[in-house]
């Protein structure tokens, strides 16, 4: 079966049926009843006799359409069916690479709270398979490099990245409560509120100072410490690895998404601490639409510690 790589939605597929004795079904260029399975999404199917050994058909379907069987049903003759071998995807047809994002880039893209709390890892996925490949977030396994020495001990050999919900919670907490920008503006607002409450006990100069502090001074600080929340939230929602990611077939544009690995010191019940310094390796479990499962190790393009 052939397909037209120039189409992006209504793909035109070509089907060649090889055999012998096809001219017994009719003359060259005659239409022959041919059906394909699955039928969902298939339209404009037409098959014609080319020669005694070849029937050629064309039909329109989704670009990732995977045929499982073909049935010829010539008038007055028993139908003939052909079952196709299931689609497979070799390991070398699916490429996985990763790169640890530098801390300054992670800070600018996702905010200081994310950069402080996580190693931000960009995962790149490219598939040359003839069908879609699905990668679940739970299929990503990270082998971390645990901090050693002193009061530190190693953690598990492999860990899973955090999902978007957890990362978003940390981001919101940093922006509204624990981050340096939040502390500065919360402090300014608290001081202005207290000043407004007690200004009646002081002279006009104090009242004017409170007004400047809560107005012009605060606005000036806002100009210096720009609010990047809209851009950062957009990056988090669109560039973070979702619960599942679908990678297109036949070398379609690669999927490049970020996953997040916790990096802060953790105090254990034993009194010791744990911390991840870097990543040793990354592996991904993926599967096809046919639910054939594969596991693949990633290649680190350019290893950088943040």
Tell me, what's the pLDDT at 289?
61
Tell me, what's the pLDDT at 295?
65
Tell me the average pLDDT of the chain: 81
pLDDT band at 306 (very low <50, low <70, confident <90, very high): very low
Mean pLDDT of 192-219: 70
Cα–Cα distance measured from residue 274 to residue 302, given in angstroms and rounded to the nearest whole number: 26
E strand or H helix at 181: helix 180-198
Statement: residue 218 has pLDDT above 70? no
Cα–Cα distance measured from residue 94 to residue 59, given in angstroms and rounded to the nearest whole number: 28
Cα–Cα distance measured from residue 72 to residue 91, given in angstroms and rounded to the nearest whole number: 35
Statement: residue 204 has pLDDT above 80? no
Q: Kindly report the CA angle at 250 between 245 and 256, in degrees rounded to 5?
A: 35
Contact 194, 213 (CB under 8 A): no
Mean pLDDT of 121-127: 91
Is 98 exposed, middle or buried, given 0-12, 13-18 or 19+ CB atoms closer than 10 A? buried
Beta-carbon count within 10 A of 302 CB: 8
What is the Cα 178 distance to its own chain's centre? 29
pLDDT digit string, tens, across residues 43-75 = 899 999 999 999 999 888 877 677 888 998 888
Beta bridge partners of 13: 3, 59
Edge-to-edge strands of the sheet including 43-51?
A: 2-3, 11-18, 54-61, 43-51
Is 92 exposed, middle or buried, given 0-12, 13-18 or 19+ CB atoms closer than 10 A? exposed
pLDDT band at 305 (very low <50, low <70, confident <90, very high): very low
Mean pLDDT of 287-305: 62
Statement: residue 234 has pLDDT above 90? no
């Amino acid at each position: 079966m052939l397909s037209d790589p120039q189409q992006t939605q209504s793909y035109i597929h070509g089907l060649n049926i090889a055999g012998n004795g096809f001219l017994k079904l009719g003359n060259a260029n005659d239409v022959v009843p041919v059906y394909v399975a699955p039928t969902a999404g298939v339209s404009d199917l037409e098959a014609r006799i080319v020669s005694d050994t070849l029937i050629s058909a064309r039909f329109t379907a989704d670009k990732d359409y995977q045929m499982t069987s073909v049935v010829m049903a010539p008038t007055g003759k028993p139908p003939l069916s052909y079952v196709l071998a299931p689609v497979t995807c070799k390991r070398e047809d699916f490429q996985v690479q990763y790169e640890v994002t530098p801390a300054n880039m992670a800070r600018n893209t996702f905010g200081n709270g994310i950069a402080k709390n996580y190693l931000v890892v960009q995962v790149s996925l490219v598939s040359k398979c003839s069908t879609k490949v699905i990668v679940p977030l739970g299929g990503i396994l990270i082998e971390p490099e645990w901090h050693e020495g002193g009061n530190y001990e190693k953690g598990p050999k492999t860990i899973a990245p955090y999902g978007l919900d957890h990362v978003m919670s940390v981001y919101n907490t940093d922006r509204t409560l624990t981050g340096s920008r939040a502390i500065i503006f919360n402090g300014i607002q608290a001081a202005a509120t207290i000043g407004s409450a007690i200004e009646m006990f002081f002279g006009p100069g104090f009242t004017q100072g409170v007004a400047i502090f809560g107005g012009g001074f605060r606005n000036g600080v806002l100009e210096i410490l720009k609010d990047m929340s809209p851009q950062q939230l957009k990056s988090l929602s669109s560039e973070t690895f979702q619960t599942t990611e679908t990678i297109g077939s036949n070398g379609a544009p690669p999927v490049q998404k970020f996953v997040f690995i916790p990096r802060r010191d953790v105090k254990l019940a034993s009194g010791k601490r744990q911390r991840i310094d870097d990543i040793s390796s990354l592996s991904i479990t993926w599967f096809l639409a046919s639910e054939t499962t594969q596991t693949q190790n990633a290649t680190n393009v350019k290893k950088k510690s943040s």
